[in-house]
Amino acid sequence: MNAKTIIFTILIGLGILAAYYVGKSSSTGPTSTEENDNPELTYVNSSVKERPESMADIRDSEPAPPPTIITTQEKATIALFEASAPSVAYITTKSVRRDGWSRNVEVPSGSGSGFVWDEDGHIVTNFHVIRQADRAYVTLSDQSVYEAKLVGVEPRKDLAVLKIDVPSRMLRPISPGNSDNLKVGQSVYAIGNPFGLDQTLTTGVISALGREIESPWKIPIRDVIQTDAAINPGNSGGPLLDSSGRLIGVNTAIYSTSGSYAGIGFSVPVDVVKWVVPDLIKYGEVRRPMLGIEMSRNNTEEGVEIQQVTPGKAADQAGLKGMRRDQYGRFIKGDIIVAVNGKKVSTNYDLILALEEYSAGSTISLSVLREQETQEVDVTLGSSADM
């Protein structure tokens, strides 16, 4: 073998060896930026798994474990909602309109919330929810819908009662609690239909007690509950519940500059609901205790001035006097009521709300200022049904 043959053989061997090492080096991983940006492996919890080929692979993979309920408070809230939600209803209203091209046409006029009061199908809501409606429809928690009949309204408390014809087995009446022993800071729960989103739960606390708001008839509603539980349009008429799931108020209004939740909501206390609703169901109206007087609109510093006494009614029978003229034609002021059973009254609204604490037929003592002298007068209250 000559020298040329030997050199050629050595060169071929070196080429084969170089090709072997180059191939081995290229198989250890990507060498380009493009390959690094599109890896075929994903890293999960420090272990290497193949990337799923499609959504089908993801669906067929082992399901994630359910969320863990961490606290007993969560369990209690879930149980409260599941037990109370069937008592809450969604109320939609419609108005009848007539135009030149068609006959009577129903158009939506509003919506709100309500709750089942008894197994006879009575549904409680706010007066302002059905105020401008010609027809109202109640949707129960199972999504069944019923046309409702109006039973009665009490605008001075912003309450109304509807009735639906439905088997009692389909109704779960709410359990009323008390509102005279509530405490600021205790937990509350609101269930309703804000913005038409039915069966919505919000939670919060009682922020304040003894608030006062104005009813649709411009008469104050006193002892109102203030809460920070989110209340929005559509929540009106829904229940405010305590931690035992008992009714403590009817969600009625919010304080907001935008019309949406701003952290301040108001509920009519259940102690008011418990005396208004039975009257509405029985009579179609609230049978209020009445004095049988017309109150003067003139404000006095002492109390409520009687402008006129209705002949034959409670005040007349007790000897109370309204404005009158003496023998010379001069006006004489009417009696001024300054207290009811020792409770001071300063305005006409004070007197109206003071009388609500009593029923027709009750005898009360009025402190009356007459010709600069105070005297006590016993009055047996009449009924608004007799006026």
Catalytic residue among 87, 122, 141, 158: 158
β-partners of residue 165 are none
Q: Mark whether 179 is an active-site residue.
A: no
Which token pair is 239? Answer: 């229940």
3 state DSSP class of 204: strand
Q: Mark whether 128 is an active-site residue.
A: yes
Burial of 113 (0-12, 13-18, 19+ CB in 10 A): buried
3 state DSSP class of 264: coil
Catalytic residue among 113, 141, 236, 296: 236
User: In terms of Cα–Cα distance, which of 285, 268, 253, 249 is closest to 161?
Assistant: 285
Interior CA angle at 143 toward 173 and 122, to 5°? 30
User: In terms of Cα–Cα distance, which of 96, 192, 209, 75 is closest to 141?
Assistant: 192
DSSP states of 314-381: HHHHTT---SEE-TTS-EEPPPEEEEETTEE--SHHHHHHHHTTS-TT-EEEEEEEETTEEEEEEEE-
Residue type, 307: Q
Specify the DSSP class assigned to residue 20: H
Catalytic residue among 109, 111, 122, 128: 128
β-partners of residue 330 are none
Length of the chain: 387
H/E element, 290 = strand 289-290
CA dist 65 and 321 (Å) reads 78
Phi-psi region of 166 (alpha: psi -120 to 50; beta: other; left: phi over 0): beta
Measured CA distances, 144 to 141, 171, 235, 295 (Å): 7, 11, 19, 48
Q: Mark whether 236 is an active-site residue.
A: yes
3 state DSSP class of 131: coil
User: In terms of Cα–Cα distance, which of 272, 372, 355, 282 is closest to 314?
Assistant: 355
Could you give the residue numbers annotated as active site? 128, 158, 236
